[in-house]
Chains A and B, each alone.
Chain A
């Protein structure tokens, strides 16, 4: 604590006296202040989770509320884990996760590195670049659908213009080969700024004297990049990957608006599949078990990842 007249005065007065001069005790205030928030968290976060766990052991169907609810034990879990279709959804999700993170890290880091050269007006351009990630994913998905239209869409026109193909010869959203890539493109467009911002914070946290010392030691620029820049930015980069990983694992709104999971089920990510089970087929118990499996998967993977992240930070 800095030594100021105020601190000295505060230390001179015993804390218990200061507290009891007027009004409620600190303890009471703490509970009054925190109470409503705790209640809301219990109601909206904890209670639903417990209910989902309970439902996951039953055959409950939400559209037939009157039906007798039977306890089916672990059968829902068993069925999900042995269902080959769900493994296809998992594969689609893995493809989406891997490539979005790959491109976002590559482009995001490069941009951050360039912006860190502190050219004139870099603040303005950073703000412009950041805009897409703040927009509503559902509305973004909807208007990218327009850009992807085979005959009239701007995306097809531009690709056709540069490749010399006919713009109606390929359908980004309608073809089994291209649809998984079309969602990767939109997500990369939208979220590269996120990785960029975090990398930029990492780059700016490197103190100049480290580079100055390296310069004195006559380390080449390339050597400096690999032995100073990359290791110092790595914890930040890993954090960005963690956030993007969690977000894209539960991706729903953007992709549902773009492809609706189609064609076939090529872009049916696990969240979209979950929505079908829960709110179209109304297999509530089954979907609850599915939800728990997804939650445990992300939770497990994220915990391992955070451990690795902390190791990197400690170095």
Chain B
């Protein structure tokens, strides 16, 4: 510990900075906290004025999110007493659960397409990144420029030819089509990030392995891959978050079978207007994994969001 430093901020300025940042953090969290709270409100509490901070929590929003319900006659309700806790919640409105809603399916689509495209991007991306890092490949230096220019095209503009292409190939509204599309969008970023990580692994390790009689392939997966594991994991999380959050392609190219959650959540409709607690419950379930991943990723966050232009 240095006893005195001119660059170390004074106690008072630290205290002031800390207070300001914490205030900002708390204010910026209010919308998120509000959505999570709303998920546990009854529809009446959700739209009350003034907005309720203290309320009686209920799982109604979550039940409504995952089920479809129908109104029933008093006789029917009398004859069939509720069996489960979720049936009981619905009974308060003289309804019975008719079946599962589409949310589960859409959420599963998000998982399949997200993980599928991430796996493919990482698999192809790691191979390409290794080649870009270790061998001389024409145009390798233009790669960053290429990534940036593909990102300049508005997604809607890309969607026009993709829409026509997929219609011809029968890939519209299929999991495979969406996985390929998201991989195509992610792969240049994945290659660039992974190249950065592989560049940092000293060449000597592989050379030593090659001298020991390893082939290039063996040197690649026995020496380079384990060294690049953290980099690969953080790149994977970036690809996953992109595919998970993507909306424009999903809303234009899918309508049913392969529709992901982002275009679906806003369409959740309750009886008599938007069912805000159910929408909030859906948003909470959907956003929570990303928040957890962000926390896991915090060390490499900067590199990912700037396409490797800024490394800490």
In this assembly, does B155 line the interface, its C-beta being within 8 Å of a C-beta of chain A?
Answer: yes
Is B286 part of the contact surface with A, judged by Cβ < 8 Å? Answer: yes
Q: Chain B, 30-65, contact with A by CB distance < 8 Å: what is the 0/1 string? A: 111011001000000011111100000000000000
- Given A33-B131, A139-B262, A295-B153, check contact A122 B21 (CB 8 Å): yes
Question: B263 at the A/B interface (Cβ < 8 Å)?
Answer: yes
Q: Which B residues from 265 to 288 make CB contacts under 8 A with A?
A: 265-266, 276, 279-280, 283, 286-287
A26 touches B283 (CB 8 A): no
Pick from A44, A131, A147: contact of B181, CB under 8 Å: A44
Q: Considering the complex, which residues of chain A in the window 122-137 have a beta carbon less than 8 Å from any beta carbon of chain B?
A: 122-123, 125-137
B14: Cβ under 8 A from any A Cβ: yes
In the complex, what's the smallest C-beta–C-beta distance from A141 to chain B, in angstroms? Answer: 8
Chain A contact residues, majority secondary structure:
helix
Q: Which 6 A-B pairs have the closest CB atoms?
A: A44-B184, A291-B157, A23-B215, A119-B18, A48-B161, A10-B207
User: How far does the alpha carbon of A233 sit from the alpha carbon of B288 in the complex, in Å?
Assistant: 33
B24 CB → nearest A CB, Å: 6
Contact A134 B181 (CB under 8 A): no
- B91 to nearest A CB, angstroms? 26
The interface size bin for chain A is 35 or more
Tell me the complex Cα distance, A55–B161, Å: 9
Q: Is the CB of B156 within 8 A of A117?
A: no
A73 to chain B, nearest CB (A): 20
Residues in A neighbouring B135, C-beta threshold 8 A: 26-27, 29-30
Task: Assess the B48–A21 pair: CB atoms within 8 A.
Answer: no
| A 26-55 contacts with B by CB, 8 A | 26-27, 29-30, 32-34, 36-38, 40-41, 43-45, 47-49, 51-52, 55
User: Number of B residues whose C-beta is below 8 Å from A?
Assistant: 108
Q: How far is the CA of A144 from the CA of B205 in the complex (A)?
A: 51
Q: Which of B113-151 contact A (CB under 8 A)?
A: 124-125, 127-128, 130-132, 135, 137, 148-151
Chain B residue, CB-CB nearest to A24: B216
- Nearest residue (CB) in B for A144 is B31
Given contacts A10-B211, A18-B210, A239-B310, whether A125 and B164 have CB atoms under 8 Å apart is: no
Q: How far is the CB of B307 from chain A (nearest CB, A)?
A: 8
Q: Give bound CA distance, A217 to B210, whole Å.
A: 55
Residues from chain A with a CB closer than 8 A to the CB of B85 are: none
- Chain A residues within an 8 Å CB radius of B150: 45
Docked Cα-Cα span, A45 to B34, in Å, equals 40
Question: Known contacts A40-B187, A122-B21, A197-B305; is A62 also within 8 Å of B156 by CB?
Answer: no
Residues of B222-274 whose CB lies within 8 A of A: 241, 244-248, 251-252, 262-263, 265-266
- A-binding residues in B (CB < 8 A): 5-7, 9, 13-15, 17-18, 20-22, 24-25, 28-32, 34-35, 38, 46-51, 124-125, 127-128, 130-132, 135, 137, 148-165, 180-181, 183-185, 187-188, 191, 202-205, 207-208, 210-211, 213-218, 241, 244-248, 251-252, 262-263, 265-266, 276, 279-280, 283, 286-287, 290-291, 293-295, 298, 301-302, 305-306, 309-310, 312
A281 to chain B, nearest CB (A): 13
Q: A40-B183, A111-B21, A134-B241 are in contact. Are A26 and B302 (CB under 8 A)?
A: no
The distance in angstroms between the C-alpha atoms of A111 and B27, with both chains bound, is 13
Q: Contacts of A287 on B, CB cut-off 8 Å?
A: 160
Contact B213 A21 (CB under 8 A): yes
Distance to closest chain A CB from B294 (angstroms): 5
Give A250 to B149 CA distance when docked, in angstroms: 13
Answer yes or no: A7 CB below 8 A from chain B CBs. yes
Pick the contact of B31: A127, A143, A149 (CB < 8 A). A143
Query: In the complex, are the beta carbons of A152 and B306 less than 8 A apart?
Result: no
